[in-house]
Amino acid sequence: MKITYYKKWMACLVVTAVFALAGCTAPVQGDKQPATATVKSADGSPIVYGVRGQGEPTLVFVHCWTCNHTLWDAQVDYFSKHHRVIWLDLAGHGESGSHRQRYTMQAFGQDVAAVVNQVGAGKVILVGHSMGGPVAVEAAKQLGDRVVGIVGVDTFYTAFKYPTSQEAIAAFVKPFETDFHGTSNKMLRSMFTAQADPAVVDTIVGKFSAADPEVGVSAMYELFDWNAHQAPADLQRFSDRLYNINAAPTGKEPPPNAHVVMVLGVGHFVAQVKPEAFNRALEGIITKLTGAGD
């Protein structure tokens, strides 16, 4: 009995040492909690992530502006039945720390790449909601051929018109600098249809309440700058493996192109308000990207 205990103790010590040498913390596995760990991004920011399930391709869920990984809880539960699924909190968001001053899409992309590299994922599909779309594109630049697909969620080909000039960006962001939480709350609640369940709306909006205003303001500036200067070329570069699942609030919005799936009667938070419809749409895209239906 003592020998068995000693062997288990030594095994735990070895695992802890390996993770320490790799620059990350050892995963913690609970009965209902997925394994979690921490890895350093390119600038040393500690990025918290989790892994569940098995099966290729690995799905990586990237959250939106000033939110965190819990936005994807329903998708992690659903898709981890047949895929390895990775969630993470971008630097300065959720449980992750930060060593950066500017929250660029490129730096966020490094957060995602650091996690994928640490996990050792082979074929990867990056799924990014809103700001997570540009972040996924930046991660794809770093991960190369391992990325078999990028799925933007209510991003890129939407009705929202991003400000493009420095003056227009500054004017849009100024209210957030003056009253970050009040302005954010108002904007977020405008992103739902009148038919959305008020309790669901409150739950989703509540996930943004812990956001750091400095992180949020910087990330918003950088997001708009990315859309103005990087989006056209990058969307063309990845056009063969870039798909979208976008909102059709009135139910009459046509898909902008053949790679866009519209979910009817929902606002910006497609996956959270209509998870079943979103999951079906993502399953269809995964089949196209992997050729599983051929």
pLDDT digits (tens, 9 = 90+) for 89-133: 999 999 999 999 999 999 999 999 999 999 999 999 999 999 999
Q: How sure is the predictor about 26, in pLDDT bands with cuts at 50, 70 and 90?
A: very low
Give the per-residue pLDDT at 22.
40
Q: Which of 31-45, 207-221, 223-237 has the lowest mean pLDDT?
A: 31-45
Q: How sure is the predictor about 228, in pLDDT bands with cuts at 50, 70 and 90?
A: very high
CA angle 62–63–67, rounded 5-degree value: 155
Say which DSSP state 34 is in. Answer: P
pTM summary value: 0.88
Give the per-residue pLDDT at 58.
98
Give the per-residue pLDDT at 31.
36
CATH code linked to domain 34-290: 3.40.50.1820
pLDDT of 190 higher than 70: yes
Give the per-residue pLDDT at 27.
44
pLDDT digits (tens, 9 = 90+) for 162-174: 899 999 999 999 9
Domain borders along the chain are 1-27, 34-290
> pLDDT above 70 covers what percent of the chain?
87
Please report, as a single letter, which amino acid is at residue 207.
K
Q: What is the distance between the alpha carbons of residues 171 and 168, in angstroms, rounded to a whole number?
A: 5
Q: What is the distance between the alpha carbons of residues 229 and 61, in angstroms, rounded to a whole number?
A: 25
Give the per-residue pLDDT at 159.
84
> For the packed helices 105-119 and 132-143, what is the interaxial angle rounded to 10 degrees?
60
Give the per-residue pLDDT at 294.
55
pLDDT of 198 higher than 90: yes
